[in-house]
Amino acid sequence: MKKSSSLQDFPSASKRRKFLEKELNINLDHIGNFNFTQDQVVGRNIENLIGATQIPLGVAGPLAIKNFKFEIKNYFIPLATTEGALVASVSRGCKTITESSGATVYVEDVGITRGPVFKTKGIEHGQKVIAWINSHIPLISQSTQKTSAHLKLLKIDSAIVGRNLFVRFYFDTQDAMGMNMATFATEQATKLIEAETGTKCIALAGNFDIDKKPAWLNFISGRGKKVWAEIVLPKKVVKEVLKTTPKAMAEVVESKTHLGSILSGSLGFNSHFANIIAAIFAATGQDLAHVVEGSLGITSAEVLENMDLYFSIYLPSLIVGTVGGGTHLPTQQEALSLMQVSNVLEYSKVLGAAVLAGELSLLASLAEGSLAEAHSKLGRKGK
């Protein structure tokens, strides 16, 4: 077979794969076994396609969530992971929540952001540009909505550092995660701002978004979806299902997730938000790099006067969608169908409750002293 100067020159995944097998003297049969077509992903999800990587998929549940009318709906949670004990742990958390009459979850749509940086003539010019932006929001909104009928400008924040002006646009992108939509819309807005104010856009993404990086701005202001989830666990359920006590749970939350995180300089005051988020993201076709933002957040716990346990989680920056991205792929579509959600807000609600379940189980295991034993049994084959 004639060698190509570039992998892009090969017309198909199979030819590209055969070239690599010969070039490297390896076998890629398993990578070559996948159930989507080249037309479904090339130019949309991937370049230089050679196949697919499989991740074991488990399911946890049922997980009971109640709405503010106290109506209960049960959900199943698809989890794609190679970490033994994770699905079992989330399953135990689901059982704990379901036996305690269900979790309460609230979702706020903050909006996906894009944050360009402009060069101004100085601080005074920068302030004038901000004043122009703030007084022309309807005009800017009109320019952004020309790029998509499914997008709406929510608000604009600004900050000045020397001659650099950072502008953060927030967009409602309906059921799409919307990062590309926000990028196209922001590009139109920057052209308008440049033409009207004499500034120059240095970079369409100036790290004021702030996208796919841990940051206090996302923690404080939020990005994508903010999610709160809570549950009151009767002390009997804590004892029988979690094998510990409300007092021991609350002590571990305070010492580990709060004090330990402060001492370490962490931006995540939780035990393992990222574990559950990564597994659900991989299963349902989300952008995996946004797991880093999902790792932000706080777990809290209190022993109530009747000795029951109040337990909650807060996710300030959850970046998700139920259309677009990788959600259209066959296995990801089936995983989404397992969740039985009608839109991105319901998806976010279920994900928040799943994170709550995961936190409950892991922290209970730490309080009980069974973490190492559980991973010994489920995280590897016994000898």
- Cα–Cα–Cα angle for 294, 230, 260, rounded to 5 degrees: 55
The answer to whether 83 is a known catalytic residue is: yes
Residue 309 has pLDDT above 50, yes or no: yes
Least confident of 12-16, 133-137, 284-288, 373-377: 373-377
Taking the complete model, does pTM exceed 0.85, yes or no?
yes
- Which of 156, 180, 203 terminates a domain? The answer is 203
b/e map of 230-245 (b: 16 or more CB within 10 Å)? bbbbbbebbeebbebb
- Dist CA 247 CA 229 (whole Å): 20
Q: Which residues pair with 63 in a beta bridge?
A: 75
**In sequence order, what are the residues at sequence separation of 6 or more whose Cβ sits closer than 8 angstroms to the Cβ of residue 258?**
269
Task: Give me the domain span that covers residue 123.
Answer: 116-203
Q: How far apart are CA 31 and CA 246, in angstroms?
A: 47
The whole-number average pLDDT for the span 138-159 is 96
What CATH number is attached to the domain comprising 225?
A: 3.90.770.10
Q: Tell me, what's the pLDDT at 377?
A: 66
pLDDT at position 382 over 60? no
Please check whether residues 89 and 237 belong to one and the same domain.
yes
- For residue 253, is it within any domain? yes
- The separation between CA 272 and the C-alpha centre of its own chain, rounded to angstroms, equals 13
Catalytic residue among 150, 258, 328, 375: 375
Q: Are 322 and 348 in contact (CB under 8 A)?
A: no
User: What band does 379 get if pLDDT is binned at 50, 70 and 90?
Assistant: low
Q: What is the DSSP letter of 157?
A: E
**Which of helix, strand or coil describes residue 100?**
coil
Selected catalytic residue, list 99, 194, 287, 302: 287
Please give the tally of structural domains in the chain: 2
Same domain for 194 and 239, yes or no, is no
Question: How confident is the model at residue 4, as a pLDDT?
Answer: 47
In a domain, 19, yes or no: no
Residue 123 within a domain: yes
Nearest Cα to 104, choosing from 69, 62, 80? 69
Residue 372 has pLDDT above 90, yes or no: no
Inside any domain, residue 173 = yes
Q: Using one digit for the tens of pLDDT, what is the confidence trace for 188-234?
A: 999 999 999 999 999 999 999 999 999 999 999 999 999 999 999 99
Last residue of a domain, one of 181, 203, 225: 203
Same domain, 291 and 368: yes
Asked whether residue 378 carries a pLDDT value surpassing 50, the answer given is yes
Question: DSSP 3-state assignment of 33?
Answer: coil
- Domain co-membership, 166 together with 265: no
Residue 22 lies in a domain: no
Q: What is the pLDDT of residues 286-305, one digit of tens each?
A: 999 999 999 999 999 999 99
The answer to whether residue 358 sits within a structural domain is yes
Last residue of a domain, one of 153, 171, 203: 203
In this prediction, residues 234-257 reach a mean pLDDT of 97
Q: Read off the pLDDT of residues 57-79 as tens digits, 9 standing for 90 and up.
A: 999 999 999 987 778 999 999 99
Cα–Cα distance between 36 and 331 in angstroms, integer? 9
Task: Kindly indicate the confidence band of residue 5, based on its pLDDT and cuts at 50, 70 and 90.
Answer: low
DSSP assignment of 251-304 equals HHIIIIIIIIHHHHT-SEESS-HHHHHHHHHHHHT--GGGHHHHT-EEEEEEE-
Catalytic residue chosen out of the listed positions 21, 83, 196, 368: 83
Residue 98 and residue 130 in one domain: no
**Is 237 part of any domain?**
yes
239 and 337 part of one domain:
yes
For 319-369, the pLDDT digits (tens) are 999 999 999 999 999 999 999 999 999 999 999 999 999 999 999 999 998
Is the same domain home to 173 and 241? Answer: no
